[in-house]
Amino acid sequence: MFDKLEDLLIRFEEILSELNEPTVANDQQRFRKLMKEQSDLTPIVEAYKEYKKAGQDVEDSLAMLEEESDDEMREMLKEELNVAKKRIEELEQELKILLLPKDPNDDKNVIIEIRAGAGGDEAALFAAEIYRMYVHYAEGQRWRVETMNVDEIGIGGMKEVQFTIIGQGAYSKMKYESGVHRVQRVPETESGGRIHTSTISVAVMPEVDDDIDIVIEDKDIRIDVMRASGNGGQCVNTTDSAVRLTHYPTGIVVYSQTEKSQLQNKAKAFALLKAKLYDIEQQQRHDAEAEMRRSQIGTGDRSEKIRTYNFPQGRVTDHRIGLTLYKLDKIMNGDIQEIIDACIAADQAAKLVKMNEN
């Protein structure tokens, strides 16, 4: 590990030197690449430098202890020695986590698709609530949300909704939301007061950048334009602005109608289609690497039940990590950071165990 850290430290210094070269500023592609690499290495380099300093503090304290005869000073040096040793242990663990292979999609924006499952109107109402939960969370992260398509029902529910979250590192956090979410509560329409169980599915897909080669042949796609339906602004139902794409090889159909411009809706529809095709590719790769998939939180089977929201008891349980929180109201209002942090920690712990086995 320390050989690798020394190599990364040397590379970091090389990057700083390259960034100071006058020619680099003129080459925007190279400049962006170097800045990204510098940004990725900075936390590792800072932690390693602190680790080396703590190691030096241990050596200095030991040397001074050998020479010191005053009892009070010796106690103080022993305390400093213990603090430095404890910090070394913490930094070793931190460095192991920082050196874990990074998901290449972590820095990307995400496209999220929420679909109502079992439970009829109640499932559609819950889908709308989970959508709002993610919007509130994104706003708290200072991310931007753009809705691509929504199929609403009259009582305020959503049969399905697709939207993009635009923000640095959105996928690194939101990927843990993929799976089946279950709600247990008494529906407003239930006169007998019985608790019903409904489900929705959430698919979180990284937005496909230009650096990922997803080829969509003209012969494989049908593009239909039509008038948008449902609630909207002046252009709804008056212009053919809505776009539907049908991808013949996979049978995927995507729809975008939230923008006034047909071109903008077409761009959003293609972005969603590319994300779905890339997601299929990723799932197939994970299926082939079954062991890796089992060791990761948040990249599992889409049919996996990941979380239960129990309204009568005011609790939320994440079944993957055995976490139960009794703050349902706050969670439904977007306060999901504690769950995400716990998923990240569990994911890192599983990867560390696997790394140590190798």
Take residue 161 and report the two structure tokens written for it.
Answer: 């909704």
The reported pLDDT for the residue numbered 139 is: 95
Tell me which residues of the chain have a pLDDT lower than 50. 232-237, 292-293, 295-296, 298-300
| Pairwise CA distance, residues 146 & 257, whole Å | 12
The reported pLDDT for the residue numbered 204 is: 92
* DSSP assigned state of 248: T
Comparing CA positions, the residue from 58, 174, 52 lying closest to residue 110 is 174
In this structure, CATH architecture of domain 2-98: Up-down Bundle (1.20)
The reported pLDDT for the residue numbered 287 is: 64
Render pLDDT for 310-331 as a digit per residue (tens, 0 to 9). 999 999 999 999 999 999 999 9
Comparing CA positions, the residue from 207, 105, 208 lying closest to residue 166 is 207
Q: DSSP secondary structure string, 81-114?
A: HHHHHHHHHHHHHHHHHHTSPPPTTTTS-EEEEE
Q: At what angle do helices 2-19 and 28-67 cross, to 10 degrees?
A: 130
The reported pLDDT for the residue numbered 245 is: 87
Take residue 192 and report the two structure tokens written for it.
Answer: 């007998």
* DSSP assigned state of 326: S
Render pLDDT for 35-60 as a digit per residue (tens, 0 to 9). 888 888 888 899 989 899 988 888 88
| Pairwise CA distance, residues 211 & 29, whole Å | 12
Take residue 14 and report the two structure tokens written for it.
Answer: 């090389």
Query: Domain limits of the chain?
Result: 2-98, 110-349
The reported pLDDT for the residue numbered 267 is: 84
Region for 120 from its dihedrals, namely left if φ exceeds 0, alpha if ψ lies in -120 to 50, beta otherwise: left
For the entire predicted model, the pTM comes to 0.73
The CATH number of domain 110-349 is 3.90.1300.10: no
Q: Residue with structure tokens 């959508």?
A: 131
Is the CA virtual torsion 287, 116, 314, 191 positive or negative? negative
With beta carbons less than 8 A apart as the criterion, state whether 105 and 211 touch: no
Take residue 355 and report the two structure tokens written for it.
Answer: 């790394």
